[in-house]
Every structure is written in C-alpha cells, then in structure tokens.
C-alpha cells in the first residue's frame, strides 16, 4: 500500500477522490468476505482502511457517498466495541485433572450441603473450546450480545452475534427477560476451509479453531463475522425474569425448545463413577466430534441446590471442569533467553525448534526459574529425577489449553557432548544491575528498579492493563513503542496523562505515528482523560507492587478508604516495617544456627529482641499493626508496600501520577442493604438447616465477616443446640445472640 496522506491535510477535492478509492477497495473486500472466503486484505489492513474512510467522512460529511460502505450492515464503530455490564457476572469454572478430583468434588458438594439424603444428580457434558457469549432476549427478541470480558463487563457484539446462523433472532414462550449463555466455536472443517482461504489470499492464518472463532466474533465489521462460519452451543443462563425449570437438565431442554442448539452428549449421572465413565466415553469420541473440546463439565442438577452452593470469588461451587490431559511433544532446546518482569524477576524462557503441540506451533516455553532448570523443586527436592536441562537438549514440551507451554522433561540420552550446564546471569541482561536471589526466593531479581528499562516497561504495561487503568487504545504494544519514543516518551504512568499537554504539537506528532490518525489520537486523549477518575482499588493494583494483586488491592482499598490514608499509614509504619525485616533476618539466622547446633530454634525470643532493639516508635508500631490487621494483608504484603512507598524513585513516580488524577473513588460499602453487612458474626453449636461452610459463605456474600471466636468486636452470635463457652462469653459481653431461625430471618431467608 502506498504511503497515505494524513486526513487532516487533505483538501476537499483530494478527499472526494480518496473516498472513491476507499469505497472501491472496501466494497470489493466485502464481496470477497461474503462470497468467496478469499479476502485479499488482512483484518488489520481492512480495519485501517475502514477507519480512514470514516475519518474522511467525519471531516467532510457532505462528501459521504450514498452507498458508503460505512452505512452497510453491521459496520461497527471503528473505535472498538461498546461495553456491556453483565446483569449477572459471567464466571469461569474450577478444574479437576484426575478421577480423584472428581470424587473429591462430589464429596465437597455433599459436605457443603450437609444433609443431602440419597443420590445427588449431576449433568455431564463436553466442555467446548471456544469463547463464551451471553445473549439477552427481551420479550422474545434478541437485544444484546456480550462477550465474557472480565466477567463483570463484556464487549457488545450484537451485530456479530446476529450473523451466527444457529442463534435465534427471536424466541417464543420464553421469560420476558432471558439471558442465554453458551460457547461460540468453529468446526474443524470450517476452520480448515477458512485457513486455506486465508493462505490463498496471502492473509494471516489462525493457529487453532478457538482463535479463529474469537478473531471472527470480535470483528469490528459484522460483515466479516457473517462470512466466517461460527456456531453456538447453549449451556447456561444469566438474568431471567422467571426461572426456566427446577433442574439443569430441564432448563437446558427448555433452551432447546426455544431453538438453541444444546450438546447431544449431555448425560444425567448419579455417581462419580458414572460421571467418570461418561468422561471416558466423550474422550474416546473427541477426535471424531468435528469440533474442539477440552474436557467435560459436571453440574449439580438440582437448581435449588445450585443456589445454595453459590459461588467462590470466580467459580461456582456447583460445577467443575474435568480437563483432558495436556498435550505433549518433543523438540530441541535451541537457547535459553532471559526475560525481565515487572518486579525485576529474571525468567528463563526456552527457545525451541518449532513443534506442533495439540495443533498449535510452539517455539517458546517457560523454564520457570534456575532451580527448575537444575532439576530441583521449590523445596529443594529433586524433580525429573534430578536431571538438569541444557541448551542443545532434546526436551518435552507440555501444553494444556491456554496455559503457557512449559518444558516438562528432558532426554539426556540424546544430549550433545558439548552441552554446558546452564548458569543464570548474575547481572540483569537488560540494564546491567546486579541480579540477586534473596533467601527463600526461587527467583533472581534485577535490582535496578525503575532505571531498568525492562522493569519500567513491564510496570507500564501492567499499569494500562485491563484490571488496572484499562486505557482504551493504549495497550501493551503501544506502551512498548512509546517508551523509546524520541518525541513523546512515556517513561512512567504520569507521562500518559501529560501526553496531550506536554507539547503544543502533541496531536500532530501522534497522528503521524504508524497506524494512528487525528481521530484515533483524539479518542486516546479522551480515553486517558476518562481515567483521571479512578477507583482506589484499581489505582493500588495498577502500581504493580510485588505481592499486591487485584484481591489484595481491593482489601487495602476497603481497609483504608482513601489513597492519603494508605500512603500516610505506610510512611508512618516504615520504622516498624524495617524492624520486622530485621527480625525476619535474625529469625532466619537463629534457625540456621540452631540447625547446625542441633537445638531448638528460639525464634520468638530472637524476634522480640530484634524488634525491641530497633526501638520502634509508638506511632510506627500502631500504624504497622493497623496495616497488617487489614483482611487478607500479612507481613509480606505490608513490607512490600512499605518498600515501594519508601523507595525514592518509586514514590516520586507515584506522587507525580496522583497529581494528574482528578478523583480517586473510594470503595462502595458492600451490600449495605443487608442488616448484617459489615458486621462480625460467630456461629456456634449445631446448625440444622445448613452446614457451617454454607452458613459462612452466605454470611460473607452479604458482606458480613465470620469469625471463629467471640470478642468485644462480635456483633452477633448464632447459637445452635449444644452451644457452650462461646454462648456464655457472648452473654458476658452483651453480644446479641440468636438461633439459626433468628439468623435466617435476619438475612431475609427464613
Ligand atoms: S458452564 C458459571 N458449560 O468454560 C460457569 N462452561 O473454564 C458456567 N465452557 O467460561 C459455565 N463449555 O466459556 C459451562 N458446557 C459448558 C462449557 C463451558 C465450555 C467454557 C465457558 C466458561 C469456561 C470456564
């Protein structure tokens, strides 16, 4: 393609000419997609031309052609997909890898429910290897289609879903609000056909049917989706105005009666043995099904029981995916590259002679860490019978579903004579700073902090990632190219927020970048400005502090309520944090000495002395204990947080970022409508209507905290028959005490 002139530099005559040229290319491309499956343009090229067409039309609306391709069916906005908040979260499934795991799953279900008499039924059905889709029907009409996204928010792909032949546009006899969930997939035959067509057209081919299905559904232009043969299996539901049935089985039958395809290999089972036997049967048929599956899903059949079992944070307790074994292949290890991560971790990555593993070409695989390469596990035990891995070796590569491939084994009988023992570099290969391995850490880390470009870039990528600032149009790829940009570099998060104002000609400079144009630059500016208002938990997570993942960030946000409170506390607690680190070191030394002398280690004594010697000021000690008192926060997180905020470079970068933000939104009080939200409850004695685990899970779901012992902080004691000392203590402390029925009526479940 010839170099294109910036849209903003075109005059009217040129614009008209350019629109005509684009119209002709796009119309031809559409016909190719619709009819011949022989696209000559790659998806990216097609998208870029569409975007350019739209930009010119936006600048010269009166030049828009009557039959403009931008007006044709399903032409979606060029700026990506709209977002849809799921009415009911779309979750994932826990995994079982062995028959024992299945038995344990059934046992755990029974145990949670406590009093199930007689058989417990489960459905067993193939786990389709595609991507999940939620379809919403209102008064029988398809009105919304959303991908799973992060579970809470998905992408609006309605125009695309409408092109899938076996998705009903309308349903009869269904509840007024019906959300049908299932899997979009591509059959093997359709996949082969698509790839052959792509190859013929010189376009990009897909590595497997799942990617092809995902790439086809998530098309900005529904015309492309329409030309790609996708199918849908319904297996679950989201929001419903009326229940579908009383059992999973009947609910699926009802979905089938509305016109959805449901999987014919679904079976009702009464015992783990039946479930496992059905799994084997499906596994035998796997190769001849004509579409990819990666396991079997078991679901509790009784929907009332499903309701009682409820969910963990991201998976239901009433279902599990029994995965097929991973796929293996042997190949030559050609080299070991070292990647440097966000927290400085040096990760060895295997460079492999390309090999097909389960239908996907693999040329890189993880080697975890230096111990793994040496044949040692994380407790120093032998793995692979102690065999080490060397460049030149013949290695076994393992891949399971979406998991990053890993090197699982080595055949030392094929080892070349000159193969050398691998040695991890002692300096960071990216910045030359010393790379050190601390006591108890399996990983060697670059000590360069933010001066290490690799760490800085990874931190920035994390900062813009989906669970963090999630800035549309500014993803990992862009961040990488901006880091070294000579004109408008982004070296730290605050630089993202000064992109627009840093330079009078920011817009022009950015619009001249490859793949950008004035319109997309403006959109990115807007997307950045939109994030000047951010939830506290996202901000904390986005900082990329070691040990502070999404859940910990939420815990910290809830505990402190504001950024100021958190950072003030961490600063104040610094002397105590240092004392605790000194105590950890003293403890480790004492353990080592005790082991050498064959005596018992006096760790608590040593710890106490070490802390006292540091003479921790009272306010620091108080701040420290407030910090580690937070739910889910222990000394490891507290120390890491304290280190990050005490580090000059890091805290400087954080302060510059915070100065760019307009509002840091405190966390919402959870379930404030429930009278037990935020309260601490203790269960004691025998519960008769639910098990302890169920009681705890339900209380927590309503925002209550469940504790094992009664104290002045306890708000309610729920005492069943046989309650003893806890009931007495509660009475002494004046804690409100009730029986199980009282509790159920309090939580509105009597
Ligand atoms: S049930 C609450 N059934 O597997 C979860 N999921 O690993 C309801 N999947 O996100 C999901 N086949 O995309 C269910 N027969 C099946 C499935 C299935 C494939 C996918 C689904 C889910 C993922 C979890």
Structure confidence by residue, pLDDT tens digits, 229-275: 999 999 999 999 999 999 999 999 999 999 999 999 999 999 999 99
In this prediction, residues 568-592 reach a mean pLDDT of 90
For the cut 80, the answer to whether the pLDDT of residue 43 exceeds it is no
CA distance 319 to 299: 4
Decide: 300 in ligand 1 pocket, CB within 6 A: no
Contacts of 128 (CB under 8 A, 6+ apart): 183, 185, 233, 235, 263, 291, 292, 293
Predicted model pTM: 0.62
Residue whose Cα lies nearest atom 23 of ligand 1: it is 92
**pLDDT computed for residue 42 by the predictor:** 58
CA distance 404 to 322: 19
Residue 495 three-state SS: helix
Q: Contact 176/155 with Cβ under 8 angstroms?
A: no
- Which numbered atom of ligand 1 lies nearest the CA of 299? 1
Residue 312 three-state SS: coil
CA of 426 to the centre of ligand 1 (A): 44
For the cut 80, the answer to whether the pLDDT of residue 326 exceeds it is no
In this prediction, residues 191-201 reach a mean pLDDT of 90
Number of Cβ within 10 Å of residue 21's Cβ equals 12
Decide: 149 in ligand 1 pocket, CB within 6 A: no
CA-wise closest residue to 346 among 337, 357, 358, 354: 337
Residue 360 three-state SS: strand
Contacts of 604 (CB under 8 A, 6+ apart): none
Q: Which residues are catalytic?
A: 127
Please report, in angstroms and rounded to a whole number, the separation of the first and last CA atoms in the chain. 70
Decide: 91 in ligand 1 pocket, CB within 6 A: yes
Average pLDDT, the chain: 89
Of the residues 313, 321, 324, 401, which should be mutated to test ligand 1's pocket, given the most ligand atoms within 8 Å of the CB?
321
For the cut 70, the answer to whether the pLDDT of residue 645 exceeds it is yes
For the cut 80, the answer to whether the pLDDT of residue 24 exceeds it is no
| Most confident among 235-244, 278-287, 514-523, 640-649 (mean pLDDT) | 235-244
Residue 428 three-state SS: coil
Decide: 560 in ligand 1 pocket, CB within 6 A: no
CA distance 230 to 213: 7
- Which numbered atom of ligand 1 lies nearest the CA of 131? 13
The DSSP annotation for 499-538 comes to: TTTSSTTHHHHHHTSTT--HHHHHHHHHHHHHTTEEEHHH
CA of 154 to the centre of ligand 1 (A): 16
Please calculate the CA angle 367-368-373 and round it to the nearest 5 degrees.
55
For the cut 60, the answer to whether the pLDDT of residue 292 exceeds it is yes
Chain segment 383-429, per-residue pLDDT in tens? 899 999 999 999 999 886 656 899 999 999 999 999 999 999 999 99
CA-wise closest residue to 395 among 360, 358, 366: 366
Residue whose Cα lies nearest atom 21 of ligand 1: it is 132
CA of 365 to the centre of ligand 1 (A): 27
For the cut 60, the answer to whether the pLDDT of residue 504 exceeds it is yes
Decide: 132 in ligand 1 pocket, CB within 6 A: yes
Residue 136 three-state SS: strand
Of the residues 122, 123, 125, 127, which should be mutated to test ligand 1's pocket, given the most ligand atoms within 8 Å of the CB?
127
**pLDDT computed for residue 37 by the predictor:** 34
In this prediction, residues 728-742 reach a mean pLDDT of 94
Cα–Cα separations (whole angstroms), residue 526 to 473, 500, 521, 529, 531: 10, 10, 9, 5, 9
**pLDDT computed for residue 305 by the predictor:** 95
**pLDDT computed for residue 19 by the predictor:** 87
For the cut 60, the answer to whether the pLDDT of residue 79 exceeds it is no
CA-wise closest residue to 45 among 58, 36, 57, 32: 32
Residue whose Cα lies nearest atom 2 of ligand 1: it is 91
Question: Which two three-digit tokens encode residue 324?
Answer: 């097929």
Question: What's the pLDDT band for 723 if we cut at 50, 70, 90?
Answer: confident
User: How would you class 284 by CB atoms within 10 Å of its CB: exposed for 0-12, middle for 13-18, buried for 19 or more?
Assistant: exposed
Chain segment 440-464, per-residue pLDDT in tens? 888 999 999 999 999 999 999 999 9
The DSSP annotation for 583-608 comes to: HHHHHHHHHHHHHHHTS---HHHHHH
Query: What burial letters (b/e) apply to 77-91, b meaning 16+ CB within 10 Å?
Result: ebbebeebebeeebb
CA of 177 to the centre of ligand 1 (A): 21
Residue whose Cα lies nearest atom 16 of ligand 1: it is 127
Query: What burial letters (b/e) apply to 385-394, b meaning 16+ CB within 10 Å?
Result: eebbbbbbbb
CA distance 354 to 361: 6
CA of 296 to the centre of ligand 1 (A): 10
Contacts of 146 (CB under 8 A, 6+ apart): 84, 86, 133, 134, 136, 154, 155, 156, 157
For the cut 50, the answer to whether the pLDDT of residue 139 exceeds it is yes
Decide: 292 in ligand 1 pocket, CB within 6 A: no
CA of 130 to the centre of ligand 1 (A): 9
Question: What's the pLDDT band for 629 if we cut at 50, 70, 90?
Answer: confident
Residue labelled with tokens 């009217």: 12
Task: Give me the long-range contacts of 731-740 (CB less than 8 A, separation at least 24).
Answer: 735/710, 740/687, 740/688, 740/689, 740/690
CA-wise closest residue to 152 among 496, 535, 475: 535
For the cut 60, the answer to whether the pLDDT of residue 73 exceeds it is no
Question: What's the pLDDT band for 671 if we cut at 50, 70, 90?
Answer: low
CA distance 261 to 264: 9
CA-wise closest residue to 722 among 747, 690, 749, 685: 685
Question: What's the pLDDT band for 378 if we cut at 50, 70, 90?
Answer: confident
In this prediction, residues 95-107 reach a mean pLDDT of 95
For the cut 60, the answer to whether the pLDDT of residue 32 exceeds it is no
Q: Is the dihedral of CA 94, 264, 178, 211 positive or negative?
A: positive
């Amino acid at each position: 393609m010839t170099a294109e002139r910036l849209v903003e530099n075109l005059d009217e005559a040129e614009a008209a000419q350019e629109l005509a040229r684009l119209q002709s290319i796009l119309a031809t491309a559409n016909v190719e997609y619709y009819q011949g499956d022989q696209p000559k343009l790659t998806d990216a090229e097609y998208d870029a031309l569409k975007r350019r067409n739209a930009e010119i039309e936006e600048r010269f609306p009166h030049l828009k052609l009557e039959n403009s391709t931008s007006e044709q069916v399903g032409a979606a906005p060029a700026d990506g997909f709209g977002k849809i908040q799921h009415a009911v979260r779309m979750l994932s499934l826990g995994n079982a890898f062995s028959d024992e795991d299945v038995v344990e799953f059934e046992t755990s279900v029974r145990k949670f429910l406590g009093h199930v008499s007689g058989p417990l039924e489960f459905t067993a059905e193939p786990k389709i290897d595609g991507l999940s889709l939620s379809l919403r029907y209102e008064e029988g009409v398809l009105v919304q289609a959303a991908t799973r996204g992060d579970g809470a928010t998905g992408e609006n792909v309605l125009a695309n879903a409408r092109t899938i032949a076996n998705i009903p546009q309308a349903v009869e006899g269904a509840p007024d609000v019906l959300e049908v969930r299932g899997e979009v997939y591509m059959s093997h035959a359709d996949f082969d056909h698509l790839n052959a067509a792509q190859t013929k057209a010189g376009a990009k081919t897909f590595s497997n049917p799942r990617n092809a299905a995902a790439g086809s559904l998530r098309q900005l232009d529904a015309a492309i989706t329409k030309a790609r043969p996708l199918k849908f299996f319904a297996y679950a539901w989201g929001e419903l105005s009326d229940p579908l049935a009383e059992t999973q089985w009947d609910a699926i039958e009802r979905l089938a009666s509305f016109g959805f395809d449901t999987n014919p290999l679904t079976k009702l089972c009464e015992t783990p043995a039946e479930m496992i036997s059905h799994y084997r049967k499906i596994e035998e048929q796997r190769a001849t099904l004509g579409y990819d599956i990666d396991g079997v899903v078991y679901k509790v059949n009784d929907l009332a029981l499903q309701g009682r079992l409820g969910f963990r944070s991201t998976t239901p307790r009433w279902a599990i995916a029994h995965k097929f074994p991973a796929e293996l292949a042997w190949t030559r290890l050609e080299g070991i590259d070292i990647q440097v991560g966000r927290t400085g971790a040096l990760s060895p990555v295997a460079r492999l002679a390309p090999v097909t593993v389960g239908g996907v070409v693999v040329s890189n695989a993880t080697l975890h860490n230096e111990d793994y390469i040496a044949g040692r596990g994380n407790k120093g035990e032998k793995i692979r019978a102690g065999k080490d891995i060397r460049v030149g070796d013949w290695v076994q590569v393992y891949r399971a579903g979406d998991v990053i491939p890993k090197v699982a084994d080595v055949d030392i009988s094929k080892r070349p004579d000159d193969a050398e023992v691998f040695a991890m570099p002692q300096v960071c290969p990216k910045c030359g700073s010393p790379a050190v391995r601390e006591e108890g850490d399996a990983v060697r880390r670059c000590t360069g902090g933010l001066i290490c470009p690799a760490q800085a870039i990874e931190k920035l990528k994390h900062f813009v990632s989906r669970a963090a600032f999630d800035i549309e149009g500014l993803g990992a790829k862009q961040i990488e190219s901006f880091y070294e940009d000579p004109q408008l570099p982004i070296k730290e998060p605050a630089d993202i927020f000064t992109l627009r104002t840093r330079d009078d000609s920011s817009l022009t400079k950015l619009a001249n970048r490859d793949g950008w144009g004035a319109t997309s630059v403006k959109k990115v500016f807007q997307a950045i400005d939109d994030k000047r208002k951010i939830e506290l938990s996202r901000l904390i997570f986005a900082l990329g502090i070691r040990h502070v993942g999404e859940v910990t960030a939420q815990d910290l946000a809830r505990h402190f309520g504001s950024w100021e409170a958190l950072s003030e506390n961490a600063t104040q607690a610094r002397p105590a944090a240092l004392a605790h680190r000194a105590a950890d070191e003293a403890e480790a030394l004492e353990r080592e000495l005790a082991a050498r002398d064959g005596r018992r280690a006096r760790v608590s004594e040593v710890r106490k002395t070490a802390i006292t010697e540091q003479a921790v000021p009272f306010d620091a000690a108080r701040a420290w204990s407030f910090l580690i008192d937070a739910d889910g926060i222990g000394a490891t997180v507290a120390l890491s947080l304290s280190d990050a905020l005490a580090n000059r470079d890091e805290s400087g970068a954080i302060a510059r970022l915070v100065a760019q933000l307009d509002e840091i939104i405190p966390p919402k009080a959870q379930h404030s409508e429930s009278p037990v939200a935020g309260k601490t409850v203790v269960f004691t004695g025998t519960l008769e209507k639910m098990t302890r685990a169920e009681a705890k899970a339900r209380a927590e779901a309503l925002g209550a905290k469940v504790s094992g012992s009664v104290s002045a902080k306890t708000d309610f004691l729920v005492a069943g028959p046989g309650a003893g000392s806890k009931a007495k203590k509660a009475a002494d402390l004046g804690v409100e005490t009730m029986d199980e029925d009282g509790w159920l009526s309090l939580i509105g479940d009597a």
